[in-house]
Amino acid sequence: MFVMSFSDSYDPKKFEPKWQAYWEEHRSFQVREEAGKPKFYLLEMFPYPSGRIHMGHVRNYTIGDVLARFLKMRGYNVLHPMGWDAFGMPAENAAIKNKTHPAAWTKENIKTMQGQLRRLGFSYDWDREVATCDPEYYRWEQKIFIEMFHKGLAYKKKSLVNWCPSCQTVLANEQVEGGACWRCDSLVEQKPLEQWFLKITDYAEELLQETYNLKGWPDRVLTMQREWIGKSVGAEVVFKVEGSGEEIVVFTTRPDTLYGVTFLSLAAEHPLIDGLVKDEAKRAELEALRERVRKIDRDKRVADAYEKEGVALGVNVIHPLTGAKVPLFAANFVLMEYGTGAVMAVPAHDQRDYDFAKKYALPVQVVIEPKEGAKKPLDQAFVDPGVMVQSAQFDGMGSEEAKQAIVKFLEQQKHGKAKVTFKLRDWGISRQRYWGAPIPIVYCETCGAVPEKVENLPVRLPLDVEFTGEGGSPLGKIAFFVNAPCPKCGEPARRETDTMDTFMESSWYFFRYLSPKDNEEPFSRLSSDYWMPVDQYIGGIEHAVLHLLYSRFFTKILRDLGYTGVSEPFKNLLTQGMVIKDGAKMSKSKGNVVDPEYLIDKYGADTARLFCLFAAPPEKDLDWNDAGVEGSSRFLVRVWRLLTELFPLYRRRMGANTAPKPALSILRGVHTKLHQTIKKVTDDIQQDFHFNTAISAIMELVNKVAEVPRADWEGEEGAALLSQTLESLVLLLSPFVPHFCEEAWRNLGYDGSLLDFPWPSFDPEATQADLVTVVVQVNGKLRGKIDLPPQATEDEVKHFVDTDEKIKAHLEGKSVVKTIFVPGKLLNLVVK
């Protein structure tokens, strides 16, 4: 039924589609829970269906595919799903521009991109495919939202929010980068709006603590998350305003400096200011300050670029411990969003306060001195720990120790308390856009905001909508959507017209893959208990604090709602580098895009895959190089030709994993190299994903095999080794270039797929070469080399040295004072 032959030249077009169809028909990558096998959940970040696959996708998914295939051959039950992050703004923009519908546009793109992924031969279980715009997907998100609402984890609040004027919608804090929109780079404005929020701050401490247990994540991602969460331990201190009942609460991380407070600074927008300042001239001055602060916001704040300035409010506050009167200022460097929007100023021990005090000639009161004695005069703030001075009963205490002591004292005196502050804010998830999952809430005159009944879910996004491109969500204009009965009292009410942030969908899609067709619940607990957590997650670094933080948060929510037993979704994370060409990230605007489909057409999918893997290790940026692609293609042609040439000598399964070490020296070399290569490829794949070195090791093996004269393969020993070598070679290459290897495997005479064969194994003893090069150095400089058995002794190497004229020349007239011998490596003679 098949021909044992390598008669044809390498022509990927002829067999790549055939093998894709084979895997499909045989459901080669379909998996289910199996008790007998170790499980491995391998996940790559699912794409936004923008229209076409780009090189970044090819790289990301090829990296994942190598692992998936490798692990499958090593006996793991590998879950490797794929889906679509299908809601989002580009669909809406395209709809307006091209007079189409976001749903149609998205569906079309998914179809195209799915075809492209298939053409690359990725090993997905397509039966688990998920598209987040499917009502059967977002239905469960709505249910989870409602459960969060009931637990007080989803709530509505009016506040200043980030508004992108170009996207015409609100952005979460995580989605503002340097004051600009993460998607379109427009400058973000602040706008007061009523919005739905998720209480991620309830999980701030756990999200932070767990970062210390995520051993399989890159440090830099964990650091970014920790900084984003931004925990500060300190205290709140209450200052009474002189001549008024008002109190001002400040947050400080330096309670040890409390006796050094010489004034107080409020944020320009602090709500107490208006009540405290009656003077018209002062009010005008304040207004000018606020205007400048707003402008700074717009121009992106750069710490050093703006001088500290402020307005004296003409009001004093009372120091809670000393009773001293200290003046109150509004200052441009105090942020309303952080802490309490009010700061106690200690110029001696905080550089900002010091700068401010110098400018306005305010007193500087030292309360901590360095252990080695005070430096006078102070020309900048002293911010290090030291010894307490001028601090009443705390004098002489170490400042670190005094932090706690002073907080304790404040608590006793009821002037303050210990306090922990986070930079992390609650996650605003309302979006004033159409193409997203509806927020399942109905507003009723009498009952207020009421969640939709769970049995009525999904709240479907209406598809019959006009796209005009004019501001605002079109949902508000659709009467049959907006008008809904109150789920509680049944009276006519109005539906929420905002949709959910699309990061909601991507925060739990990896759970939905576990039972994607479940119509009882979001996903089954059983499948989650079997598959979760994701063993290896692969994707771009750009989601370090967005998607990856939200997903961690959602997982904890799902745990607390009883859906899963895991607290962290991703055990190991690999962040792959970008694809660079001509010094810049590939992008349409730069005009340096290479279309993957063009590559497949020209060279075949295997070449495209091979180049992505060979050009750089996964975590580094990949520098695109058209000539390099040629090289990868050439390598495959070369291997194919080698197989074709050697095929007549090949005898199937003759020494498949047992070929003994031959007597002939050149074959012994191949035998050693083969075992070394199996070891190296295996280690490189599973230890650090360094596929580039794995591939170069295979290239070396191929070079070695090609050097052997044909006649040397002909005896029994040679044939056994040839059998093992060729079969191992094909199996070792198969995770990287699967179509090539399946076809080669078949040509070698096998029916079916090589996926059913085990990964080659090696004999550690056989990796040891007969001879190793021992280096001879004189005074650390290389003077000679000799090939000797690895166990050669120092005396044997010295004996060689005595017979080598070149080395002897360097020893002429000198005496050896010391020798260093590293067996199998080198001999270093130190002479005088």
> Quick check: 693 binds RNA (CB under 7 A)?
yes
> Quick check: 763 binds RNA (CB under 7 A)?
no
List the one residue from 35, 281, 302, 479 that touches RNA (CB under 7 A). Answer: 302
List the one residue from 408, 494, 638, 798 that touches RNA (CB under 7 A). Answer: 638
Distance of closest approach, residue 33 Cβ to RNA, in angstroms? 37
> Quick check: 343 binds RNA (CB under 7 A)?
yes
In sequence order, which ranges of 532-647 are alpha helices (DSSP H)? 547-560, 596-603, 605-614, 626-646
Residue 246, token pair as written in the block: 């008002």
Distance of closest approach, residue 694 Cβ to RNA, in angstroms? 10
Length of the chain, please? 832
> Quick check: 783 binds RNA (CB under 7 A)?
yes
List the one residue from 223, 404, 413, 761 that touches RNA (CB under 7 A). Answer: 223
> Quick check: 661 binds RNA (CB under 7 A)?
no
> Quick check: 352 binds RNA (CB under 7 A)?
yes
Contacts with 179 (C-beta within 8 Å, 6 or more apart), sequence order: 187, 188, 297, 298, 300, 301
Task: Give the CA distances from residue 635 to residues 264, 452, 603, 700, 708, in Å, rounded to whole numbers and listed in that order.
Answer: 71, 60, 12, 11, 18
> Quick check: 620 binds RNA (CB under 7 A)?
yes
> Quick check: 575 binds RNA (CB under 7 A)?
no
> Quick check: 628 binds RNA (CB under 7 A)?
yes
Residue 465, token pair as written in the block: 């909508």
d(CA 828, CA 419): 63
d(CA 501, CA 167): 13
| 579-581 vs 622-623, strand pairing mode | parallel
Identity of the residue, 25 or 219, whose beta carbon is nearer to RNA in the bound complex = 219
> Quick check: 335 binds RNA (CB under 7 A)?
yes
DSSP annotation of 769 = -
Sign of CA dihedral 268, 273, 279, 284: positive
Distance of closest approach, residue 265 Cβ to RNA, in angstroms? 8
Distance of closest approach, residue 731 Cβ to RNA, in angstroms? 19
Contacts with 100 (C-beta within 8 Å, 6 or more apart), sequence order: 94
d(CA 118, CA 23): 10
> Quick check: 421 binds RNA (CB under 7 A)?
yes
d(CA 558, CA 62): 31
| Stretch of residues binding RNA (CB under 7 A), selected from 59-67, 207-215, 616-624, 651-659 | 616-624
> Quick check: 339 binds RNA (CB under 7 A)?
yes
Subset of residues 168 to 187 that bind RNA, contact rule: CB under 7 A: 177-178
Subset of residues 522 to 561 that bind RNA, contact rule: CB under 7 A: 541, 544-545
Q: Are 101 and 474 in contact (CB under 8 A)?
A: no
Residue 819, token pair as written in the block: 């020798």
> Quick check: 418 binds RNA (CB under 7 A)?
no
Identity of the residue, 518 or 804, whose beta carbon is nearer to RNA in the bound complex = 804
> Quick check: 350 binds RNA (CB under 7 A)?
yes
List the one residue from 62, 175, 728, 828 that touches RNA (CB under 7 A). Answer: 828
| Stretch of residues binding RNA (CB under 7 A), selected from 114-122, 302-310, 525-533, 795-803 | 302-310
DSSP annotation of 758 = P
> Quick check: 396 binds RNA (CB under 7 A)?
no
> Quick check: 711 binds RNA (CB under 7 A)?
no
Contacts with 268 (C-beta within 8 Å, 6 or more apart), sequence order: 286, 289, 290, 293, 330, 331, 332, 334, 336
> Quick check: 333 binds RNA (CB under 7 A)?
yes
> Quick check: 495 binds RNA (CB under 7 A)?
no
What letters, b where the CB count within 10 A reaches 16 and e where it falls short, cover 213-251? ebeebbeebbebbeebbebeebbbbbbbbeeeeeebbbb
Identity of the residue, 190 or 232, whose beta carbon is nearer to RNA in the bound complex = 232
Q: Are 500 and 439 in contact (CB under 8 A)?
A: yes
Identity of the residue, 528 or 632, whose beta carbon is nearer to RNA in the bound complex = 632
Identity of the residue, 177 or 205, whose beta carbon is nearer to RNA in the bound complex = 177
What is the number of other CB atoms lying within 10 angstroms of the CB of residue 370?
Answer: 12
Identity of the residue, 321 or 450, whose beta carbon is nearer to RNA in the bound complex = 321
Q: Which of 720, 728, 722 is CA-nearest to residue 710?
A: 722
Identity of the residue, 4 or 816, whose beta carbon is nearer to RNA in the bound complex = 816
Distance of closest approach, residue 563 Cβ to RNA, in angstroms? 31
List the one residue from 408, 661, 785, 798 that touches RNA (CB under 7 A). Answer: 785
Distance of closest approach, residue 18 Cβ to RNA, in angstroms? 24
d(CA 105, CA 13): 30
List the one residue from 344, 493, 558, 579 that touches RNA (CB under 7 A). Answer: 344
> Quick check: 696 binds RNA (CB under 7 A)?
yes
516 upstream amide cis, omega within 30 of 0: no
Distance of closest approach, residue 591 Cβ to RNA, in angstroms? 19
> Quick check: 587 binds RNA (CB under 7 A)?
no
> Quick check: 695 binds RNA (CB under 7 A)?
yes
Q: Which of 84, 436, 399 is CA-nearest to residue 256?
A: 399
Strand ranges (E), 133-277: 154-164, 169-171, 176-177, 180-181, 189-198, 232-241, 247-252, 263-267
Identity of the residue, 561 or 831, whose beta carbon is nearer to RNA in the bound complex = 831
d(CA 263, CA 353): 9
| Stretch of residues binding RNA (CB under 7 A), selected from 185-193, 361-369, 599-607, 770-778 | 770-778
Distance of closest approach, residue 635 Cβ to RNA, in angstroms? 6
Q: Are 573 and 537 in contact (CB under 8 A)?
A: yes
> Quick check: 800 binds RNA (CB under 7 A)?
no
Subset of residues 236 to 275 that bind RNA, contact rule: CB under 7 A: 251-254, 267
| Stretch of residues binding RNA (CB under 7 A), selected from 51-59, 93-101, 490-498, 612-620 | 612-620
Tell me the site size for RNA, rule CB under 7 A.
86
Subset of residues 270 to 299 that bind RNA, contact rule: CB under 7 A: 296
* Beta-ladder partners of 316: 327
Identity of the residue, 103 or 336, whose beta carbon is nearer to RNA in the bound complex = 336
Distance of closest approach, residue 746 Cβ to RNA, in angstroms? 24
Q: Which of 457, 461, 460, 568 is CA-nearest to residue 510?
A: 568
Contacts with 515 (C-beta within 8 Å, 6 or more apart), sequence order: 523, 524, 527
